[in-house]
Amino acid sequence: MTALLEATGLVRSFGTRRAVDDVSFTVAAGDALALFGPNGAGKTTLLRLLAGLLKPAGGVARIGGDALPAVSARARVGLISHRTMLYDALSARENVRFAAQLHGIADLDAATQRALEALRVADRSDVPVRALSRGLQQRVAIARAIVHQPDVLLADEPYTGLDEQGSAALTGLLLERRAAGAALVVVTHQLSEGLAVASQAAVMRAGRFLRHEPTRELDLTRYAAEYRELFS
Amino acid sequence: MSRATPPGMFASALIVAQKDLAIEFRTRSAFLSAMVLSLLSLVIFYFAWDPTAVAAVDVAPGILWVTFTYSGLLGLHRSFGVEAAERAMDALLVAPISREAIFLGKAMANLVFVIGVQLVALPAVSLFYNLPFSSIIGPLALVMVLAAIGLTCVGTLFAGITSNTRMAELLLPVLALPFFVPIVLPAAQVTAKLLAGRPLDESLGWIRILLAFDLVFVYACTLAFPFTLED
């Protein structure tokens, strides 16, 4: 399959420390990469490089063949972070609608409503974001990230603050996006959540991939034991 | 899948400006603060002023422009504060709009903010100093808008630069105020001449300087802004 998301030799340093050190991988349409690793392993930095938020010191990230941070590449990206990236004075609907406007979606209201309903937050959508719980804010943040139905969805700790219902909705949504042909990269500390949506899994430490393999051959219990052993 | 066509630069800028103004309209925090600051400044200047020593027409232009400048800074600082709170700037940067559009959108919203401050502060100055602004309102409005354009462009750029620093509130005026001088100086000069009853023709040189700095600042700040976003 052709790669929708392609990282080649990505390098990024902060001072003398290499946060991402020569990382290469591809994610095809309909594939999902789950990225695991301890705090400070470089997962978030890698995701920010893939979103075009950071400039790599070396290597290149491409989306559909277009190198980031080109507008044509960013138009195909949706980003979910552990920070909500929402404006707390605006309502959930206004936040999602604003994102839809920036992507030039023709039917703004319908796209906004669809995204809010997908995250089961449509009934609270006219409340200012600051009045919502952390979990509901996270749902709105996810709705904002998917309102333009991105080809590449980058999710950094997307389950932060979500309750059981929210987590189930998110897992369903990620699988739905995969089935629709999107490429996903999911950064999480929860192996079960990551492996539930992924077709490939990678473990990062000190900016490098320690292991990277397809998930179809993985047994969760054994993988979890090996993961713990890696960082013990 | 994503098939929409992202808006062009000016359309994106308008969307960003509308969003910033909607946030300010909801919270009104920066506008109210700027109002209070400008009115307090005018009260302090008024009580420090000795009308037997200096005529109102001589002191008013300076007071007017000092008040506009410092009050405007409050809104400029806030324009990037709303992006920093939950890292909303990241979502803006991932969106398929140019960095220049983000700058222009923020500058447009700040321009509306500064003009709003001017609209409230000007009648207050007129009231305190008993000055007949109504007879010169046309040319004065032109000068106020031209100055507001320059001030907001420079201010928006430095607000962006300082937004990720720990002392943004302190750094913004320290960095921006020297660059305000080429705007405030001609604006105050034209205001003084207009208040003194001189014809507009006498101020055309200053207005040209103001216009030239506006063009330079709009162009230079728009081009420089993307570099302030590099990590």
Residue environment code for B183-203, b if the CB has 16+ CB neighbours within 10 A, otherwise e = bbbbbbbbbbbbbeeeeeeeb
Question: Considering CB atoms only, which of B1, B85, B94 is closest to A51?
Answer: B94
Instruction: Provide the mean pLDDT of chain A.
Output: 93
Q: CB neighbours (10 Å) of residue A163?
A: 14
To the nearest 10°, report the CA torsion of B168, B171, B172, B178: -170
pTM, rounded to two decimals = 0.92
* Residue A5 scores a pLDDT above 70: yes
Q: What is the pLDDT of residues B138-188, one digit of tens each?
A: 999 999 999 999 999 999 999 999 987 888 788 898 999 999 999 999 999
Phi, psi of B50 (to 5 degrees): -105, 100
B7-16, B79-88, B91-100, B189-198, range with the lowest pLDDT: B79-88
- Antiparallel, parallel or unpaired: β A183-187 and A32-36: parallel
- Distance between CA A59 and CA A56 in Å, rounded? 6
- Distance between CA A185 and CA A40 in Å, rounded? 18
Residue of higher predicted confidence among B86 and A24? A24
Q: Does B97 touch chain A (CB under 8 A)?
A: yes
Size of interface A-B (CB pairs under 8 A): 95
CB-neighbour burial class of residue A107 (10 A; exposed 0-12, middle 13-18, buried 19+): exposed
pLDDT-derived band at A162, boundaries 50, 70, 90: confident
Helices first, then strands: H and E counts in chain A: 8, 10
- C-beta of residue A87 within 8 angstroms of C-beta of residue B19: yes
Reduce the DSSP state of residue B62 to 3 states and report it: helix
Q: Does B201 touch chain A (CB under 8 A)?
A: no
pLDDT on residue A165 = 85
Q: What is the largest CA-CA distance in chain A?
A: 52
ipTM value for the complex: 0.92
Length of chain A (residues): 232
- Antiparallel, parallel or unpaired: β A208-214 and A200-205: antiparallel
Instruction: Provide the mean pLDDT of chain B.
Output: 91
Question: Considering CB atoms only, which of A81, A85, A149 is closest to B1?
Answer: A149
B-contacting residues in A 33-72 (Cβ below 8 Å): 51-55, 71-72
Mean pLDDT of B94-106: 96
* Residue B132 scores a pLDDT above 90: no
pLDDT on residue A3 = 87
pLDDT-derived band at A1, boundaries 50, 70, 90: low
> Tokens for B46?
């008024």
* Chain A closest-CA separation from residue B5 CA (Å): 5
> Tokens for B24?
């300010």
Q: Where are the alpha helices (DSSP H) in B85-203?
A: 88-94, 99-129, 137-162, 168-195
pLDDT on residue A84 = 94
* Residue B129 scores a pLDDT above 70: yes
A137-146, A215-224, B111-120, B180-189, range with the lowest pLDDT: A215-224
Q: Does A74 touch chain B (CB under 8 A)?
A: yes
* Residue B230 scores a pLDDT above 80: no
pLDDT-derived band at A166, boundaries 50, 70, 90: confident
Minimal CA–CA distance to B136: which of B89, B82, B48, B203?
A: B203
* Chain B closest-CA separation from residue A25 CA (Å): 21
pLDDT on residue A10 = 96
- Distance between CA B178 and CA B215 in Å, rounded? 18
The residue with tokens 């559909």 is: A64
pLDDT-derived band at B56, boundaries 50, 70, 90: confident
Q: What is the largest CA-CA distance in chain B?
A: 74
Residue A1 DSSP symbol = -
To the nearest 10°, report the CA torsion of A77, A78, A81, A83: 110
Question: Considering CB atoms only, which of B12, B27, B90 is closest to A81?
Answer: B90
Q: What is the pLDDT of residues A56-115, one digit of tens each?
A: 999 999 999 999 999 999 999 999 998 999 999 999 999 999 999 999 999 999 999 999
